Amino acid sequence: MRDFRCPRCGATTLIESTTCDACGLEVGLHPTSRTFHPAPTQGAEVDGQWWYPCGNRPWGCNWLVRADSGAGTCFSCRLTRRRPDEGDTLALEALATTSTDKRRLLLQLAELGLPVRPWYEREGGLGFDLVSSRSDGERVTIGHANGIVTIDLAESLDAHREALRVSLGEPYRTMLGHFRHEVGHYFEWVLVEQTAWIDECRELFGDERASYRDAIARHYREGAPADWVDTHISEYATMHPWEDFAECFAHYLHMHDTLTVAAAGGLELHGDAVLDSSLDPDRRAVAPRASYADATMAELLDDWLPLAAFFNRVNRAMGKADLYPFGIVDAVARKLAFVHRVVAASRVPDPIVA
Ligand SMILES: [Zn+2]
Ligand SMILES: [Zn+2]
């Protein structure tokens, strides 16, 4: 269960907070238990060990770091392998906002029990190159290779990212979405391609050994097939089996996080108004669960689809675009079910070893 609260007054605390909005207490997030604790400069004891605020707290990092880790920065910050040079103020500001999305991603991976083994402990471990294409001498392509996820910090600038979204014809483009997509590549690599899951994966998504270079050229020359909506979650997913898996993985994380937030807030949707005719007519409420670890993907989607439709109406009430501008056809539901089973089977007890 996700339950972020101030340790002093009990007020609900945002995942990004460094202070409690209600009582002003300086708080820090203890990454292994995923709970907030007081964060005095000299540190504090949590579960019998001493924890300090992360050295990047002046840049907005609210995680705690274990005193005996020998590091001045937290687990999330240490996963960053490359970052902008000191003095590159604009890029460092972009790093700070982007790191908030990275921490959200890592907390979610921990909730799902997905193993995160750092790049500095083993070859092929997970790491992040967070650099900006606007910095002198940098050429940045968002992507994943051998455990390292590269993110272009310039995309955290709204005008730049939005211009890309429009020119690429995408309904949704966010920094959090980039993180979720790119770790999808990482987890396909470690949890599927190196295991017995690969055969079923190829049946559903296609053979990932197909030339990626040819796939890119074809995609940018011809675009997606006309009937892509019958088989894929997005046009980009049609490019190559790797992209299809990464897109489905990202969507799985979108759904899981949104359902988790709804469940933590006690949200329930009542009545016929939210249930369309395709759903079980005996259902009279949609109540998101605290965890879907023991549920099927079909059960998750039974909650997700009416909830997403409801949030889309909420956004429209504010003159905003749909929260979830996607449809889930049967072929995509089968791919999502595969992702769900891989995630459930890959759970480890201590996903973050801070
Ligand atoms: Zn408080
Ligand atoms: Zn940190």
272-301 pLDDT tens trace = 767 665 566 677 788 999 999 999 999 999
- What is this structure's pTM? 0.96
pLDDT for the residue numbered 207: 96
Please, is 6 exposed, middle or buried when counting C-beta atoms within 10 Å of its C-beta (0-12, 13-18, 19+)?
buried
CA of 117 to the centre of ligand 2 (A): 17
- Return the DSSP state at 171: S
User: CB of 157 within 8 A of CB of 94?
Assistant: yes
Domain regions of the chain by residue span = 1-74, 81-345
For ligand 2, the distance from its centroid to the CA atom of residue 135, given in whole angstroms, is 22
pLDDT over threshold 60, residue 150: yes
pLDDT tens for 81-107 read 999 999 999 999 999 999 999 999 999
Decide if pLDDT at 181 tops 60: yes
Average pLDDT over residues 23-33: 96
Arithmetic mean of pLDDT, 212-241: 95
Q: Which residues pair with 345 in a beta bridge?
A: none
> What is the helix (H) or strand (E) element at residue 191, kind and residue range?
none
What's the rounded mean pLDDT across residues 63-76?
94
> In this structure, which residues have their CB less than 5 angstroms from ion ligand 1?
6, 8-9, 11, 20, 22-23, 25
Given pLDDT bands bounded at 50, 70 and 90, which one contains residue 351?
confident
Whole-number Å distance, alpha carbon 4 to ligand 1 midpoint, is: 11
94 Cα: distance to centroid of ligand 2 (angstroms): 15
Percent of the chain with pLDDT over 70: 97
pLDDT score for 70: 86
Mean pLDDT over the full length of the chain: 94
CA of 79 to the centre of ligand 2 (A): 9
Q: What is the mean pLDDT of residues 3-9?
A: 95
Res 282: pLDDT:
72
Q: Sign of dihedral through CA atoms 189, 190, 193, 197?
A: negative
| pLDDT band for position 350 (cuts 50, 70, 90) | confident
What angle do helix axes 89-111 and 175-187 make, rounded to 10 degrees? Answer: 50
d(CA 146, CA 354): 22
Which amino acid does the sequence have at 316? R
Q: Are 28 and 8 in contact (CB under 8 A)?
A: no
pLDDT at 230: 97
Secondary structure of residue 122 in the 3-state scheme: coil
pLDDT in tens, 311-343: 999 999 999 999 999 999 999 999 999 999 999
